[in-house]
Structure 1
Amino acid sequence: MKFRALMQDPQYMREFQAIVATLAKLAKDCVMILGPRQMHFIVNEDQSSTASPLVWASIAAEEYFPEYRMEAALPEHEFIVLSMSSASLGRALSVLRNVGTNNCKFKLQRIQFPCISVIATVLLSSSTEAREVVHDVPVSIIPASDWPAYVVPKVPNSQLVLSLPTLRLLRSLIDKLKNVSPSLEFQVNIDGELNVIATSEMSTVTSRFQKLLLRSLEASQQEASCCVDSRKASAFFGSLQVSNDELTIGIDRDHSIHMQIDVRQDVVLHSILPAVCV
């Protein structure tokens, strides 16, 4: 079982760090699935928090890593599956925010314990020589017999998919609406309109967004709506550290809402908010 990877582009390193920082805000632990050409991170609903949504990231290795090598334990195995502290990985990657970081290597190894070693080469402002900053993040290697519990989630079918307005605006709005109602109803229609509705015993608050870009549409569908837990919606938007504003919402009527952020081609952050009964 072997894994090695190298990042060199400063922008890609900052994006990678922002994705992991987003996951670290949502749950204590995450799962890393290493495939031959793709890397996935998954945070399931945190059992200690009813407000933690399901979020995962899919990253094409060739987008971020000019060098990427993965060898599974057995030839018939397609993946390496690891569990680790998302906070520990986030702290190890915080060095990637530094302007002087030239590259970052990842290596799966066993020191006194299995770990992902994060090795960043940093040029300090006080010195002309680059130095290596090393963090060893402990991991648990998930045996193949347990892999069915760690499958990458499937994107649900959506009747309507719209591009959303800026993250900052939605983050502020939903953070306020969660104090009005325990659930939020998202309504979309083919005219590019999104309504976010919070209902309480005393009032109903509707926030309307118009002239949004229609991304996809199932035949004969005019509109779709779904009610979700307001705390889970707020947790997702509040956790986002990525700077990209390309956010879409897809509604599978009365089943779930699918949020998707395209950080770049083949680098995507997903979240599924399940429907709640009102």
Structure 2
Amino acid sequence: MKFRGKIVDIGCLNHFTRVITTISKLTKTCILRLTPDNLFFVMCSKVANGGVSMWCELSQANFFDEYQMEGVNPENNEICLEVTVENLARSLKTIQAAKSVKVKLTKKHCPCLTIAAELPTMSSSSRVVTHDVPVDVIPCRLWHEFKEPVMPDFDVSIYLPPLKTMKNIIDRMKNLSNFLVMEANQNGEMNLKIETDLVSVTTHFKELGNPPWGEGASQNTGPSQGGRDLEGMAQARVDIRKLQQFLIGQQVNPTKAMCNIVQDSVIHLILLDQDMSLQYFIPAVA
């Protein structure tokens, strides 16, 4: 079981750091799956128990100039590691000016992701800074828990308004209630609603647009029809703090941001960039 990668391009390093920092705002620990073509960051809380889930996929070729890995065996050519994402993000933030960065799976006092950065100096000699981020190796028998999540047919799929605008609205609404209702239709309309015994507040968005069926998710499912017309709203009531956490952590400036709603069940948020996709599931509450 071996892994080593090298990043030389400063733009790729900065982008990779932004992705890791975003994930660190969403979860303390997650599973890092390494395959020959991709890196996956996975958080699999039980949605049935009120937990959020996350699936982030990166194409290694768009980040690494060199990338080599050998899995557990030829039949299972991948590596699964549990990592404290904050430690990884902190290590990367300290080496943003590096000439090159090497990432390697090593065995020290425990398994580690060793990050070695060559930093620029005023002299001809190089200066290398090394960070060891402890990891736990996940045995093959548990890998089935960290596969790409299966999404049930959603009722509505809609593009999100600017995420900064959403964040500012949610920041104000959270002072009024712990819960928020998000509703949308296939006519590009979305509402964010707070309803309590004392106050009712709604923010309306129009002309957001609706993605083609199945866009943004790997499954080939689209909105379930069920007789719903374009004007009909699908909604889910969620913990406003979990939605706020997603918006606060976002630092990747995606080219597309979408939301799928399963009526009274789950909100499925998707961020897409040319070299990254991030899916975030927030379960509905009664």
Does TM-score exceed 0.5, indicating one fold?
Answer: yes
**Structure 1 segment 134-213 matched on structure 2, within 5 A:** 134-213=130-209
Report how many aligned residue pairs link the two structures. Answer: 270
| Displacement after TM superposition at 1:74 (Å) | 1.8
Kept in 1, the 8 Å contact 2:255–2:274? The answer is no
Q: Which residue of 2 aligns with 1:273?
A: 282
Q: Which residue of 2 aligns with 1:258?
A: 268
Q: Which residue of 2 aligns with 1:108?
A: 105
Q: CA RMSD in A?
A: 2.2
1:30 aligns with 2:30: yes
Aligned counterpart in structure 2 of residue 214 of structure 1, from 195, 210, 223: 210
The 10-residue stretch of structure 1 (203-212 or 24-33) with the greater mean CA deviation from structure 2: 24-33
In the alignment, residue 254 of structure 2 is paired with which amino acid? Answer: N
Cα distance in 1 between the residues matched to 2:160 and 2:107: 44
Cα distance in 2 between the residues matched to 1:160 and 1:71: 41
In the alignment, residue 249 of structure 1 is paired with which amino acid? Answer: C
Q: Secondary structure at the match of 1:237?
A: helix
Aligned counterpart in structure 2 of residue 132 of structure 1, from 128, 133, 140: 128
Q: Which residue of 2 aligns with 1:16?
A: 16
The 10-residue stretch of structure 1 (181-190 or 236-245) with the greater mean CA deviation from structure 2: 236-245
Cα distance in 2 between the residues matched to 1:121 and 1:103: 5
In the alignment, residue 35 of structure 1 is paired with which amino acid? Answer: T
Question: Which runs of 4 or more aligned residues in structure 1 lie more than 6 Å from their structure 2 counterparts after TM superposition?
Answer: none
| Displacement after TM superposition at 1:26 (Å) | 2.5
In the alignment, residue 239 of structure 2 is paired with which amino acid? Answer: D
Mark the runs of 5 or more structure 2 residues left unpaired by the alignment: 214-222
Mark the runs of 5 or more structure 1 residues left unpaired by the alignment: none
Q: Secondary structure at the match of 1:24?
A: helix
Provide Cα deviations, 1:62-117, integer angstroms capped at 9, x if missing partner: 22123222211222213211012111111111135x3x322221111112221011
1:248 aligns with 2:264: no
In the alignment, residue 60 of structure 2 is paired with which amino acid? Answer: A
In the alignment, residue 192 of structure 1 is paired with which amino acid? Answer: G
Kept in 2, the 8 Å contact 1:52–1:235? The answer is no
Cα distance in 2 between the residues matched to 1:129 and 1:157: 58
Cα distance in 2 between the residues matched to 1:163 and 1:94: 31
| Displacement after TM superposition at 1:51 (Å) | 9.1
Cα distance in 2 between the residues matched to 1:248 and 1:11: 25
Cα distance in 2 between the residues matched to 1:8 and 1:74: 29
Q: TM-score, normalised by structure 2?
A: 0.86
Q: Percent sequence identity over matched residues?
A: 29
| Displacement after TM superposition at 1:143 (Å) | 0.7
| Displacement after TM superposition at 1:5 (Å) | 1.3
Aligned counterpart in structure 2 of residue 118 of structure 1, from 115, 127, 131: 115
Q: 1:35 to 1:155 in 2, by over 3 A?
A: farther
Q: Which residue of 2 aligns with 1:39?
A: 39
Q: 1:52 to 1:21 in 2, by over 3 A?
A: farther
| Displacement after TM superposition at 1:44 (Å) | 4.0
Q: Secondary structure at the match of 1:18?
A: helix
Q: Secondary structure at the match of 1:158?
A: coil
Q: 1:229 to 1:5 in 2, by over 3 A?
A: same
Q: Which residue of 1 aligns with 2:55?
A: 56
Q: TM-score, normalised by structure 1?
A: 0.89
| Displacement after TM superposition at 1:200 (Å) | 0.9
Q: Secondary structure at the match of 1:192?
A: coil
Aligned counterpart in structure 2 of residue 238 of structure 1, from 239, 243, 248: 248
Kept in 1, the 8 Å contact 2:51–2:282? The answer is no
Cα distance in 1 between the residues matched to 2:116 and 2:153: 40
